[in-house]
Structure 1
Amino acid sequence: MDRELSATTKQANKRRRIWQIGIALAVLVFAIVGFRSLLTPALRKDKLRTAVVERGPVVATISASGVVVPEHEQVITSPIQARIEQVVLKAGEQVKPGDQILLLDRAFTQLAYDKLKDEQQLNQHKSVQLRLNLRKTLNQLASQLSIKQMRVKSLQAQLEDEKYLLKIGGTTQESVKQAELNLKIAQQELQEIEHDMATERELLKANEQELGFTLAMQGRSIEELQRKMEQAEVRATHNGVITWVKNEIGSIVNAGDVIARLADLSSYKVKATISDTYAGQLKPGAGAIVRINNTDMQGVVSSVEPTVTNGIVTFYVALQDKAHQLLRPNLRADVYVELVSKTDVLRVKNGPYFNSTAAQQVFVVQGDEAIRKPAKTGISNVDYVELESGVQPGDVIVISDMAEYQHAEKVKLK
């Protein structure tokens, strides 16, 4: 038989239910808070890179790799086909104008030089022989001319006599006609001799001109060979440093082969390479920044090679300060060719965040949270990124890689 519970028991049961409900509510609250903390990711502040949004210029650039080279480099080629007889100076040594670098064997060229000299002397003798032969021929023709002139005068006198005799009846008309014919023949022979003399003079003039041309060409060839033999003593023409020399003694080099390179180390330029994808954007005259050991140097694209080799385009940058103290031959450099420039825009320092995602959004630091906000980026370079919308000057944004948190509304900062 059931008994009615006492008031004390009822009160105890009531307090027990209240405690149970309270504990359950507390567990529920802690569960909700814990779940929300699980949904909101957290990052340590000292692991983040941040930057402040500011106003300033941004220049869009494309990146290339470069190497410092002397602005002026003399390529010395062999003037003749010869054997390398002696290497006087080695690569790395400084030279002054007139310093000998190499010595080439000149024996073969000397033979060709001597042969030309002999041929020139022979042609000079031919010229003398031509004049002597002409003088002899002209003397013979002059003698014949004198005889013909006297014969013409004699025949002219005979003709006059025949005409006089015909007039007084002392001769016949046929004798007069014969005298006239003899005079005409003699006059024709006289003209032929005069013509032969003129022809001989013209022939001599032509032969002398031909020999003159031959002698002039041989003279130039002799001078060229003489100059080449002098150049066989390979000498520097200006101050500089030997960057390379063919030091294989006894080897044969052909005329035109490169045997040494001489660089002027007082000024430099940068030889840069870039993918042919950007070939259409490279233009001579475009501004460029050359960065060496975190030092920026201003320059301009001076020339672009027209050929593409293995998908690579080569171009050269002329520096404003060609003699900067950091410049050294073969020193590696980063080259940034300027494309578009904006003077007064919102910008922030470039960082891994802008390289790891293409999403148009940023994380703005507010207190202990980094809140994701939509933002539109513009032009950029290795140093700065333009922000066209979504931020204000003074905002602190995260520039660390945030690829893992792109779908989070906010990130707690610890």
Structure 2
Amino acid sequence: MDRELTSDERKKAMRKKMLPYIIGVAVVVVIIAILMITLRSSVNRDDLLIATVDTGTIETTVTGSGSVVPAFEEIINSPINSRIVEVYCKAGDSVDVGTPLLRLDLQSTETELNKLKDQIEMKRYELEQQKVGNDTRISDLTMQVKVKEMTVNRLEVELRNERYLDSLGSGTGDRVRQAELAYNTGKLELEQMRQQLANEHKVTDAGLSVKNLDINIASKNLGEMSRTLDDAQIRAPRRATLTFINDQIGQKISEGEKIAIISDLSHFKVDGELADSYGDRIRVGSKAVVRVGRDRLTGMVSNVTPLSRNGVISFSVRLDDEANARLRSGLKTDVYIMCDVMEDVKRIKNGTFYTGPGLYELFVFDSDDELVRRSVRLGESNFEYVEVINGLEPGDRVVISDMKRFNTNTSLKVK
């Protein structure tokens, strides 16, 4: 005879039915967890970059960014206000000395030049006219002085005669005094005329000097305008490559505006930028290494700007091999500036893991097939080595490749 099951009996029966399913799910979860742990806790040896800690010398560097530019570059500016009439070359053309690049509208400048020539010619005619006028006035004054000298001589004779007659008793004292007055007055008038002649010489000489100076100034202006007109015939000043030219025919050009650039694309230098916090560690003459792809080119800092802009300072590097085949204008590079030399320090190879002095979490080989996370303090660096302050000893093997995906692991198996 059937009886009704109690609630406890029903629960037990239910648990018996569900137990296989629960065990199955648990097994699957455990298997998946084991697989995930296995996958996350192991790494392929071939995927690792491994460096061994050793002891040696580090030439510390500061790192900046750079760009390859031509070692020589000349900007050609418009010498006048004008407009472009014709363009003879295009960017990328090789040009020799004197090669025409473009033609500007020179009509107004040529008109000004001819006007200035006419003004100079007029000034020369005025100078000749003034010379003739001066000569005429001086000749008249000279003749008047000679006439006055003759008059004074006559008055002197008359004075002597009156004095002689007065000594004989035939003359009178009044006549002697009148003769003396006439003679003295004549001498003063003669002296005045001589002074007037001397002054006239000075005035005419000064006037001629002013005229000559005016003509000289105008001639210099003419020469300057002639050179400007010649410069307006835009030609290549040297053999190089045309890297820029304003080819907009009809465009108005202001005086001093850039219209072309020529560059020597067979020799290069590097223009770099560096955080201004390192400004005290870079100076003219510092050794530098420029990384172009996998190649490293040596050089020397040739120029450092004294001012900081937007938190960076600019500098230039003159390369030892400035004609290297890897160099291309505009190529981006890393620049390492040598600062100090540290002897007998622990070091490891530099890599992408290093971002500056500080504390790092690095994986170190604990055995041949196991990596252990270790806190390591690193110091200064150069493009090859990083200084180890503590946390590593010579002979330790360290992973220097990117291990960010294992940030949560304290150890790893190496396959």
SS in structure 2 at match of 1:316: strand
Q: What CA distance in whole angstroms lies between the structure 2 residues aligned with 1:206 and 1:212?
A: 10
Contact map agreement 1:289 1:336 (CA 8 A) in 2: yes
CA shift, 1:182, in A, is 0.3
* Structure 1 residue aligned with 2:381: 380
CA shift, 1:246, in A, is 1.1
Q: What CA distance in whole angstroms lies between the structure 1 residues aligned with 2:338 and 2:306?
A: 20
Amino acid at match of 1:84: I
> Which shifted more, 232-241 or 340-349?
340-349
Question: What is the TM-score when the length of structure 1 is the normalising length?
Answer: 0.83
> Which shifted more, 333-342 or 94-103?
333-342
Contact map agreement 1:362 1:375 (CA 8 A) in 2: no
Matches within 5 A, 1:262-301: 262-301=262-301
Return closer, same or farther for 1:402/1:258 CA change in 2, 3 Å cut-off.
closer
Contact map agreement 1:289 1:335 (CA 8 A) in 2: yes
CA shift, 1:343, in A, is 4.5
Matches within 5 A, 1:218-257: 218-257=218-257
Amino acid at match of 2:85: E
CA shift, 1:188, in A, is 1.0
What CA deviation, in whole Å up to 9, does each residue of 1:142-184 have, x standing for no partner?
A: 2211211111111001100111111111122121111111001
CA shift, 1:202, in A, is 0.8
* Structure 1 residue aligned with 2:188: 188
Q: Where does the alignment leave 5 or more consecutive residues of structure 2 unmatched?
A: 1-33
> Which shifted more, 345-354 or 190-199?
345-354
CA shift, 1:276, in A, is 3.5
SS in structure 2 at match of 1:256: coil
CA shift, 1:261, in A, is 0.6
Matches within 5 A, 1:79-228: 79-228=79-228
Contact map agreement 1:360 1:377 (CA 8 A) in 2: no
Q: What CA distance in whole angstroms lies between the structure 1 residues aligned with 2:207 and 2:164?
A: 51
Return closer, same or farther for 1:93/1:47 CA change in 2, 3 Å cut-off.
closer
Q: What CA distance in whole angstroms lies between the structure 2 residues aligned with 1:358 and 1:175?
A: 128
Q: What CA distance in whole angstroms lies between the structure 2 residues aligned with 1:191 and 1:292?
A: 92
Aligned residues: 378
CA shift, 1:76, in A, is 0.8
What CA deviation, in whole Å up to 9, does each residue of 1:381-406 have, x standing for no partner?
A: 34321224554443322224556878
Q: What CA distance in whole angstroms lies between the structure 2 residues aligned with 1:363 and 1:48?
A: 12
Return closer, same or farther for 1:248/1:143 CA change in 2, 3 Å cut-off.
same
> Which shifted more, 395-404 or 201-210?
395-404
What CA deviation, in whole Å up to 9, does each residue of 1:118-164 have, x standing for no partner?
A: 11111111111121111111221122112111111110011001111
Return closer, same or farther for 1:385/1:107 CA change in 2, 3 Å cut-off.
same
Amino acid at match of 1:399: I
CA shift, 1:100, in A, is 0.7
* Structure 2 residue aligned with 1:75: 75
Alignment RMSD: 2.7
What CA deviation, in whole Å up to 9, does each residue of 1:181-233 have, x standing for no partner?
A: 10011111111111111111111110111111111111111111111111121
What CA deviation, in whole Å up to 9, does each residue of 1:7-60 have, x standing for no partner?
A: xxxxxxxxxxxxxxxxxxxxxxxxxxx9xx99x965544443321223433232
What CA deviation, in whole Å up to 9, does each residue of 1:210-269 have, x standing for no partner?
A: 111111111111111111111121111111001111111111212211111111123111
- Say whether residues 1:302 and 2:306 are aligned partners: no
Q: What CA distance in whole angstroms lies between the structure 2 residues aligned with 1:261 and 1:197?
A: 64
Q: What CA distance in whole angstroms lies between the structure 1 residues aligned with 2:373 and 2:257?
A: 66
Question: What is the TM-score when the length of structure 2 is the normalising length?
Answer: 0.83
- Identity of counterpart residues, as a percentage? 32
Amino acid at match of 1:104: L
Amino acid at match of 1:163: R
Return closer, same or farther for 1:267/1:53 CA change in 2, 3 Å cut-off.
same
> Which shifted more, 367-376 or 187-196?
367-376
Return closer, same or farther for 1:185/1:337 CA change in 2, 3 Å cut-off.
same
Q: What CA distance in whole angstroms lies between the structure 1 residues aligned with 2:373 and 2:52?
A: 16
Contact map agreement 1:69 1:270 (CA 8 A) in 2: yes
* Structure 1 residue aligned with 2:395: 394
* Structure 2 residue aligned with 1:366: 367
Return closer, same or farther for 1:235/1:352 CA change in 2, 3 Å cut-off.
closer
Amino acid at match of 1:369: E
Amino acid at match of 1:175: R
Q: What CA distance in whole angstroms lies between the structure 2 residues aligned with 1:401 and 1:365?
A: 19
Q: What CA distance in whole angstroms lies between the structure 2 residues aligned with 1:106 and 1:406?
A: 72
SS in structure 2 at match of 1:126: helix
Q: What CA distance in whole angstroms lies between the structure 1 residues aligned with 2:88 and 2:51?
A: 60
